[in-house]
Amino acid sequence: MPKFIRRLQKIGSSILVSLPIEWVESNRLEKSDEVEIETGTNSISITPIGNSRPPKEVVIEYPVLKKENISADVTGAYLLGYDIIKIRGKSAISVEDREKIRGLMRRLVGMEIVDEDATNITVQFLLDATTLSPDKILKRMSSIAIGLFRDTINSLTSNDKTVLQTIPSRDDEIDRQYFLLVRLIRSAMVDTRLATVFNLGNIDILDYRIAANLMESAGDTIVELANSISELGGSKMESKKLHSMATEIENIHEKSIISFIENNRLLAIEAITSFRIYQKKISNIVSSLEPKKQVSIQFLDLVYTLEKLARCWADIADLVKPVYT
């Protein structure tokens, strides 16, 4: 993003600053046109009235380089906030790569194929970013994750474990929301108008990026947990003990997400404290069982996977900033 230095000038009782001619011309502005000015504590944003931001467009040359792949290139452009992605081929686009692109459209929220022929495919982001909300997307990820978690741990005390087979595909929805959230956050970083709509400062944008990554990692950890439980032999006593340990994590999850979205420092401290108590309890249980050789390797693996999941959620609470007077 270009930067310009301007010196303030005083004319009569007014302080004036000139606008860069490059910006004026690119937005087709003339004398007497109106602009909208938004001010922050240490910033100012100028937007032409009635002049929407032109769509960001990128062209991906096909075939891509040998070390690259078409899926990674399109996904990367999506995450960078491009509205129109054109795949322009020097030769016909293969059936295999077309299927990859169509598969991506199911994973990338808001993207649709709008034009296609033998050598070209154009995809476009059809949602209005200003109507989306980072906190609602994070809540959506949270809701899916806790649903996956409950179904996974309930299988420990159930004879029917078929629900575990659905966990990986349901985690795909967390990934879809994650990609959308990352796209919004990156767009807000380079578009101050969008950041203002979301009411996010620079630190908030960074925190949302970290929180989104932690939530996506939590989803992957639940899939890992489900796979381990499906292979669990062990005794019913071990399963019941694991179930009891797992249910305590829900409390950490709920407090962490609410505290982050509402910027509630006291609730965040409760979530972090609950996690430390949980860690200590796990350590005591494992220490009491190991000398007696009453615990299997599978049991220990599941215990540490639960702790890993709890840490993901506690780390989200750790992002909540202290309030200084």
d(CA 53, CA 56): 9
Distance in angstroms between the alpha carbons of the first and the last residue of the chain: 35
> Is 152:164 a contact under the CB 8 Å cutoff?
yes
Give me Rg for the CA atoms of the chain.
25
In SS3 terms, 61-95 reads as EECCCCCCCHHHHHHHHHHCCCCEEEEEECCCCCH
- CA 181 → CA 50, 108, 174, distances in Å? 27, 11, 10
Could you give all domains of the chain from N- to C-terminal order, each with its CATH number?
9-48 (no CATH), 57-125 (3.30.110), 130-317 (1.20.58.220)
> In a structure prediction context, what are the per-residue pLDDT tens digits for the chain, which is 325 residues long?
678 888 888 887 788 888 888 888 877 888 778 888 877 777 787 877 765 567 889 999 999 988 889 999 999 999 999 999 999 999 999 999 999 999 999 999 999 999 999 999 999 999 989 899 999 999 999 999 999 999 999 999 888 889 999 999 999 999 999 999 999 999 998 887 788 889 888 899 999 999 999 999 999 999 999 999 988 876 788 888 889 889 989 999 999 999 999 999 999 999 999 999 999 988 888 787 766 566 678 888 899 999 999 999 999 999 998 877 6
Residues 6+ apart with CB under 8 A from 80: 58, 183, 186
103: CB partners within 8 A, 6+ apart? 71
- Measured CA to CA, the distance from residue 156 to residue 163 in angstroms comes to 11
| Residue 286 · residue 300 · CB < 8 Å | yes
Report the residue count for the chain. 325
